Structure 1
């Protein structure tokens, strides 16, 4: 262990086996995962927070919950996540960095727009059946308690998802595979809201199986009549 003479912070020279992995502040811990990965404690806390928020909603999660989830004392959590605003903003960022690529992978495929919408509904279905519904909606459930900076980041994240989905509706109108009223952004907003609402409804009913049929029915209602 070393000490930074300028600010008095303690540092550890971390090693994995015989390999050094750099100098990190004492508060930044490396954690061995069951699958062999080694992650920084803040990432483990955010992983736990993401799952808890998806299950309980933003306002249903406390810092004690986070501490219990990763085996820390509650005061130690604040070394990594200073307050609820920082937690909310970090989770909102994950909407883009973790879940955005899933949407992009579907949208980038060589499929017609109707087929892409069906595959997008499967992402939401998988989230529901695994107990991990839309993170954006889970965070938005506590929007009244969010600070202005966090609320602005939430809006940006929502707009980014809608923008991605609107690409499918633009394609659908151009190729004639989708038939809908309004602009592609309007249709994409309705699609996103439908997926989030359907997740919430099926969760409330305890009927995850019903999601597939309802989602397919919705996409079929948007599909142009080819007859």
Structure 2
């Protein structure tokens, strides 16, 4: 028989995920234990196992929640009929907000530990990046059509380049504690996708906002 859960179970599970997510984004998945979460929340390790029987279960739940939140951000970036260039700038801003909180992309951190992760987590990490690349591919194709983006090669290859560039820019900015490094890399990436002649179109204000202060 399944365990009967109390009214605060959902809240406790959410708090566990919140703490675990922060730990992964700072230390990595292998850089913390259930004891760290228990100490932070002042609960027993048994209570943790009640919600997430294994650390692998916790990891899968973390990725699923993070991917869902990222999907919401992508949906918001494409709302109100925004031009492709504006959507792309909004996408880069998602990464900037994470780095501004002195954290790294959850799945970027997990990718660095990929070989040590359980297979279900590995598959989920790949799924996260596939989701991002698919969204970007659609945006890039739209950009070619509406004239706000220009790039050589396929939209798929360019989408992969964008994800790799932003994840890498976060990683390199981290040891310096310098958000301006990421902002400069992001701004240059977006500028490189602007149409010939330097007209950024509707994305102009967002591109300017991405420049280092």
Task: Give the aligned partner of residue 57 of structure 1.
Answer: 28
**From 76, 96, 119, the counterpart of 2:47:** 76
Shift of 1:67: 0.9
| Cα distance change of structure 1 residues 109 and 139 upon mapping to structure 2, 3 Å threshold | farther
Task: Give the aligned partner of residue 67 of structure 1.
Answer: 38
CA offsets per residue over residues 26-60 of structure 1, 9 Å max, x none?
xx5617xxxxxxx5211210111111111111111
Number of aligned positions between the proteins = 198
SS at 1:209's partner residue? helix
Q: List runs of 5+ in structure 1 lacking aligned partners.
A: 1-6, 10-23, 32-38
**From 114, 123, 131, the counterpart of 2:102:** 131
- Structure 2 residue 164 is the aligned partner of structure 1 residue 193: yes
SS at 2:174's partner residue? helix
> Which structure's CA Rg is the greater one?
1
Shift of 1:135: 1.4
Give TM-score scaled by structure 2 length. Answer: 0.85
CA offsets per residue over residues 124-154 of structure 1, 9 Å max, x none?
1111011232111122222122122221122
SS at 2:50's partner residue? coil
Task: Give the aligned partner of residue 99 of structure 1.
Answer: 70
2:133 and 2:80 map into 1 onto residues whose CA distance is: 18
The answer to which structure, 1 or 2, has the higher relative contact order (CA under 8 A, 6+ apart) is 2
2:183 and 2:115 map into 1 onto residues whose CA distance is: 31
1:95 and 1:193 map into 2 onto residues whose CA distance is: 18
1:69 and 1:103 map into 2 onto residues whose CA distance is: 31
Structure number with the higher helix fraction is 2
**From 100, 121, 129, the counterpart of 2:92:** 121
1:29 and 1:51 map into 2 onto residues whose CA distance is: 25
- Structure 2 residue 8 is the aligned partner of structure 1 residue 30: yes
Runs of 4 or more consecutive aligned structure 1 residues displaced over 3 Å after TM superposition: none
Task: Give the aligned partner of residue 14 of structure 1.
Answer: none
- Aligned 8 A contact 1:88 1:139 in 2: no
1:85 and 1:138 map into 2 onto residues whose CA distance is: 15
- Aligned 8 A contact 1:116 1:168 in 2: yes
2:96 and 2:135 map into 1 onto residues whose CA distance is: 18
2:116 and 2:181 map into 1 onto residues whose CA distance is: 32
| Cα distance change of structure 1 residues 45 and 181 upon mapping to structure 2, 3 Å threshold | same
- Structure 2 residue 151 is the aligned partner of structure 1 residue 180: yes
